[in-house]
Structures are given as C-alpha cells and as structure tokens.
Structure 1
Amino acid sequence: MTIENQANILTARVESILYYAKPFLTNEHRAGWIGGNAPEFFDDQAEHIHEGNQKYAFYLSLNHPFKPECMISIFIPEDRDIYLENNIYPHCSIKVIEHPVSAESTQGSFTHKDLIKHSISHGERSKDEISMEQPFLIKVGGNPRLIQNEDYYFAKLKKDSLSFFFQVDEDGYPDTLIREDGSYPFGFGSLYIFAKIEKEIRHPAAGFCQFS
C-alpha cells in the first residue's frame, strides 16, 4: 500500500480496514491470530514482557497493515485489575509491540486462559460511516468507534502527537472465542491503539481501553 493510501485511511478518516475472527481450522493464520500462543519471536523474551511479579498474557498478533515485514502483538496483564485501573495513556498497562513477522510458538508460556485460538481474516476496505454500524474484531483507520466519548481519553495522546491507528472491539468476538467458563478481557469493551503517523507509522502504543 502506498504512502498516499495510508494517509487516506489514517488521516482523511473516510475509509477503514476491517478484520474478523474466524475459527482456526487450518495452519494458515491469514492476517494473524487471537488467543493461542504468542509468536515464537517472544520465546526468549519473557523477562522483557513480564514486569516484576506482574505476568502478562498474549492477546493477539496482527500482520502490520502497511509494513509486510512486521507484525503487531498485544499482551495484557494476567491480573485484570491492573489494566482496569491503568487504562489510559501514558499509564495504560497494555503492551503493544511491533516486531518482525513470526510464526506462532509451540510454547504456551503466554497463553491467555480464557481465549480459544482463532485466526484473523484478511482486511476488507470499508467506508468509515458503514463500519460504525457493524461488528468487527479490528478496525484500522477511519474514526474510532467509542463506548465513552470523553476528552480526557485523548488529552495526553494529542499532546504527544499520537493518532488513532486501530481498535480491537469485543463486539466482534464470535461465540466460539471465549471459553465456556471464561470472561471477556475488556468486559465486552474495546482497546484503542495509537501511533505516530507521518510518512510512516511508528511507535504503536495502547491509547486506552473502554469497558461496557
């Protein structure tokens, strides 16, 4: 995708790219996966992911929409209270890491106990106004679909010149994604990722999470 097309999706806000979770039926990850094991890139990096006594669980990995050589992986604290209390940038406790494309690990050291592995479909372009009216797992570009539209979520992000990159929305979870005795990590809410968006997209970071 050209820089001009990136600018159209991420700056003009008239279009977005939508992704969906699909039952994992083959070894093909498509555009990534949610649940399951972390990428093997992290096999020897546990000490860099965990912080002291705080353990993290793997949430999802998405092929970077504009950098084919990269992926974006998200880790969330195993202790849900940590990110309930620290849910807004720059103190959001969700880890967002850009890294080289990597296969899924055979090790389950980061596996989230409540999530059943699903693949993430290839992205589909959508008019932004249409995307606001339908469920999706991930929405790249366009405008964020918010649960609470309050200025304080954006204050520090704007100060640091970070712009909306994508969101992960639990409204788009299929019924097969959460284990029978499990719970939604964000309480049927949404996670919002921001980044420096100029000639290229740099430094993706968790902007905030909102809960229903």
Structure 2
Amino acid sequence: MPLDNQKKVLVERTESILYYAESDLSKDHGAGWIGGNAPQFFDDQDDLIHEGNQKYLFYLSLVHPFKPESMISIFIPEDYEEYLKNNMYPNCSIKVIEHPISTESIKEVFTNPGLKKHTISDGTLSNDQKSMDQSFLIKVGGNPRLIQNEDYYFTNLMEDSFSFLFQVDEDGYPETLVQHDYNYPFGFGSLYIFAMIRATEIKHSVAGFWQFS
C-alpha cells in the first residue's frame, strides 16, 4: 500500500480498506483466509497459543496491509465464556500475532469446526464515510464502525498509545461460512484490533475489544 494511502487510512482516516470473504477456494489465498487450518508457521507451536487448560482455535489470517512480508493471525479461546468475560484490553482473551508470510498448514491442530474456510479478497480502498453503510468482512483504518459507542472501550487503549487498526465484522460473513448447528464466534458482532501506529511503523497489534448486538 503506497505511503500516501497509508496516511489517508491511518492518519487522516478519510479512507479505509475493505475486504470480503469469498467461497471460491480455487483462487490463491488473496489477502488471507478465515476458517480452515492455521498458517504453517504455527505448526508445533502449541505452547505459543494454548495456555494451560485453555485451548485456542484459529480464526483468520490477513496479509498485513502495510507490511507485505507479514501476516496477522487471530486465535480465539475454545471456551466462549472465557472471551465473553475477558472482552476488553488489557484483559482481552483474543490472541493477535504478527508473523512472517506463511501458507496454510495441513495440520488441524487449531482448526475451528464451526467455520468453513473462505478466502479473504484483496483489499479495496473506500471512502471511510461511505464504508460505514457497507457490508464488509474486514475494514482497515478509517474509523471503527461500533455496535456500542461507549468511551470506556477506548480508555486503556488510548492511555497505552494504541490506535484503531482494523475490525472484523460478522455482518460480512457469507451464509456458507458458519457451519450448521454452530454459533457466530462473536455473537453476530465485531472484533476490533489496535496497534501502536507511528509515521513510519506499525507495531504491537492487539485485540482491543469485541462487541455484539
């Protein structure tokens, strides 16, 4: 993504980048994938993801929009109650890990049985105000589209110098994504990812909070 676009998306926040879930797996991975197996990078790294008796499931991997050599992968606790009660930074149970580009593993160590693998489309630049009225799977930059617009979600994040990076919105799920007899991981809600954003670098991506309707 050109530097001037990065400025519009993450500094001026007049533009955002939108991604969609596609069921056509005959394409390459596009900008990543949701559902399916975790990246091969996490093979034999159970200790990095699982915590004691708390098992984690793979959610999605997205090629970093401003670091094409990196990906951001998200894992959610297997126990819904765990991340329901720990839903806000600095105690958010959702794991966000930046790592080198990696293909999908053949191992099903972290695979979520409730999600059917879909490709994430390449990102398209959109006017941020217009994006508020569109359906999307992922929205990078601009301003977050919130379900509950409450200041307390942002208090600790702002104190620690985190800014909004992207959100994953379940309103953008295709009907084929969630397997029959399984629930939406975020209760038909949205997950908000934050990072420390500087003029020349973006680092320390974290799960800020998640909300549901």
TM-score range, shorter chain: over 0.9
Shift of 1:12: 0.7
- 1:209 — aligned with what? 210
Q: 1:36 to 1:24 in 2, by over 3 A?
A: farther
- 2:182 — aligned with what? 182
- 2:85 — aligned with what? 85
Distance of 1:204 and 1:23 partners within structure 2: 27
Distance of 1:137 and 1:84 partners within structure 2: 21
- TM-score by length of structure 2 reads 0.98
3-state SS in 2 of match to 1:106: coil
Distance of 1:146 and 1:50 partners within structure 2: 29
Write the deviation string for residues 46-89 of structure 1: whole angstroms up to 9, x where unpaired. Answer: 11100000000000000000101000000000000011000000
Aligned residues, how many? 212
Write the deviation string for residues 151-174 of structure 1: whole angstroms up to 9, x where unpaired. Answer: 110000000010000000000000
- For structure 1, which runs of at least 5 residues remain unmatched after alignment? none
Write the deviation string for residues 89-143 of structure 1: whole angstroms up to 9, x where unpaired. Answer: 0000000000000000000010011100000000010000110001100000000
Distance of 2:115 and 2:173 partners within structure 1: 10
Distance of 2:100 and 2:93 partners within structure 1: 22
List, as ranges, runs of 4+ consecutive aligned residues in structure 1 with deviation greater than 3 Å.
Answer: none
Whether 1:94 and 2:119 are equivalent positions in the alignment is no
- 1:151 — aligned with what? 151
Distance of 2:47 and 2:163 partners within structure 1: 30
Write the deviation string for residues 184-206 of structure 1: whole angstroms up to 9, x where unpaired. Answer: 00000000000000021101000
3-state SS in 1 of match to 2:168: strand
3-state SS in 2 of match to 1:12: coil
Shift of 1:3: 3.2
Shift of 1:11: 1.4
Aligned sequence identity (%): 68
* Contact 1:138/1:169, CA 8 A, preserved across alignment: yes
- 1:58 — aligned with what? 58
Shift of 1:27: 5.5
- 1:106 — aligned with what? 106
- TM-score by length of structure 1 reads 0.98
- For structure 2, which runs of at least 5 residues remain unmatched after alignment? none
